[in-house]
Amino acid sequence: MNADRIGQATRLSSALERLCAPVLPEYIDDSRGLDLIGRRIVYQMGMIAWNIAVTGRRELADTAFENSNLDEKQRTMVRNEIHALVKKKYADFPDYHTAIRAISVFMNNGKSCLKVQIGDTFPALPTPVLEESFPPPANPIRALYDRLFAIYGEQHWWPCKSGSRWEIVTGAILTQNCAWTNVEKALVNLENAGIVSPEAILKTPDDTLRELIRPAGFFKQKSVYLKSVAQFFIENEKNFLQSNDVWALRKRLLAVKGIGRETADSILLYAFQKPLFVIDAYTRRVAERHLNLDGTMPYGQLQKIFMDALPIDVSLYGEYHALIVALCKQSCLKSGCEEVCSKINIVQTDKQSSLEE
């Protein structure tokens, strides 16, 4: 190898190290000695990202999974890392147009070393639209869950202090047309008054109950709902726990005064661990902006689309709904999309583009 190519290889090695430096801490563990395997994984992703940026060949992302046993969730995380590294290559090394043929990672004098084999040099390419860096996943709904989980982690829902079924049911009623912060105030009032069971709700005078749940709004209406649901809960809790006929249970819940589809599904999913996906205003917003679905379609139709795309899994349904809530509180706002939305794009939509402009 002549001096020019040696110098070029050295510069590329240095550039690849700098490209991957922010990612390394997430993948390496040097507590038992220098972690060359973790470094090799990261530099391999960096090489793939580098070559995508240089050649414009988006399909190179699939080479990350050759001869691997990664599951779909792990593949999504790797794709996200490569996507971020492609973006960083464009931003930090725009004048490098030579591909990397191979890498080697080894230890020398107690330190890790990276060497690259240089490949062909390509004409400068225009920076592509990052949302188009990779083809859309085969299952966008599952891919969206994986990306949200990678960003936010486990949400530990339903949000309640005691974790009791009745507290979950109470919260599901009170949260109708109400921000959760106000629901929490009403729940604290009930707890301080010692009204933490359906039996206690039924014994509480109407005026007292209304005043306690006033922070949740519509307190006159919701006090009636709570008493109706409390009576139903007392009479049917055991049966609901034992039965696996989810749709029959849902039909019975919908017949109770004050319970609509969203409330019924929340109760069944979180209080009774029955596999029903909850559709709320946040789900509709995310479906429209990030999955190119019609956010105004009927409740049951949108619910079926989500459930058909996912395995029947109570934990997954509950976690997914919680992650959507987290996204919509932080980034996918009613007024428009903010930073996190750009990181979880699955399908680019006209709706999202107009909001981001």
29: in domain: yes
- DSSP 8-state secondary structure symbol assigned to residue 267: I
When pLDDT is cut at 50, 70 and 90, the band that residue 12 belongs to is: very high
Are 187 and 335 found together in one domain? yes
Query: Are both 200 and 128 inside the same structural domain?
Result: no
Average pLDDT of the chain to the nearest whole number:
87
Does residue 349 fall inside a structural domain?
A: no
pLDDT at 354 over 50: no
Verify that 118 and 179 share a domain, yes or no. no
Q: What is the mean pLDDT of residues 170-198?
A: 93
- Alpha-carbon Rg for the chain, nearest whole angstrom, is 26
Domain match, 104 and 216 both: no
| DSSP states of 186-236 | HHHHHHHTT--SHHHHHHS-HHHHHHHTGGGS-HHHHHHHHHHHHHHHHHH
Domain count, the chain: 2
What value does the mean pLDDT take over residues 15-37? 87
Q: Which amino acid, residue 330?
A: Q
208 and 80 fall within a common domain: no
185 and 118 both lie in a single domain: no
Q: Which domain range does residue 33 map to?
A: 3-134
* Residue 48 resides in a domain: yes
Residue 114 in 3-state DSSP? strand
Please say if the pLDDT value at position 160 is more than 70: yes
Q: What confidence tens digit (pLDDT) does each residue in 195-229 have?
A: 999 999 999 999 999 999 999 999 999 999 999 99
Structure tokens, 282: 């946040």
326 pLDDT exceeds 80? yes
CATH of the domain at 242: 1.10.340.30
> How many angstroms from the chain centroid is the CA of residue 98?
36
Residues 128 and 172 in one domain: no
Same domain? For 187 and 333 the reply is yes
Confidence grade of residue 16 (pLDDT, cut at 50, 70, 90):
very high
Confidence of residue 33 (pLDDT cuts 50, 70, 90): confident
pLDDT at 301: 96
Could you tell me if 77 and 61 are in contact, meaning their C-beta atoms sit under 8 angstroms apart?
Answer: no
pLDDT at position 128 is 56
Residue 146 domain flag: no
Residues 113 and 199 in one domain: no
- Asked if 103 contacts 114 with a C-beta cutoff of 8 angstroms, the reply is yes
Burial degree of 26 (CB within 10 A; 0-12, 13-18, 19+): exposed
Asked if residue 348 belongs to a domain, the reply is no
User: What is the pTM for the complete model shown?
Assistant: 0.64
DSSP state of 269: I
**Residue 252 neighbours by CB distance under 10 Å:** 17
- If asked whether residues 7 and 109 sit together in one domain, one would say yes
Residue 148 lies in a domain: no
Instruction: Provide the 8-state DSSP code for 30.
Output: T
Q: Do residues 213 and 311 share a domain?
A: yes
Q: Which of 181, 20, 151 is nearest to 76 (CA)?
A: 151
286-322 pLDDT, tens per residue? 999 999 999 999 999 999 999 999 999 999 999 999 9
More confident residue, 77 or 277: 277
Domain assignment of residue 277, yes or no: yes
Give yes or no: residues 222 and 317 share one domain.
yes
**Does some domain include residue 278?**
yes
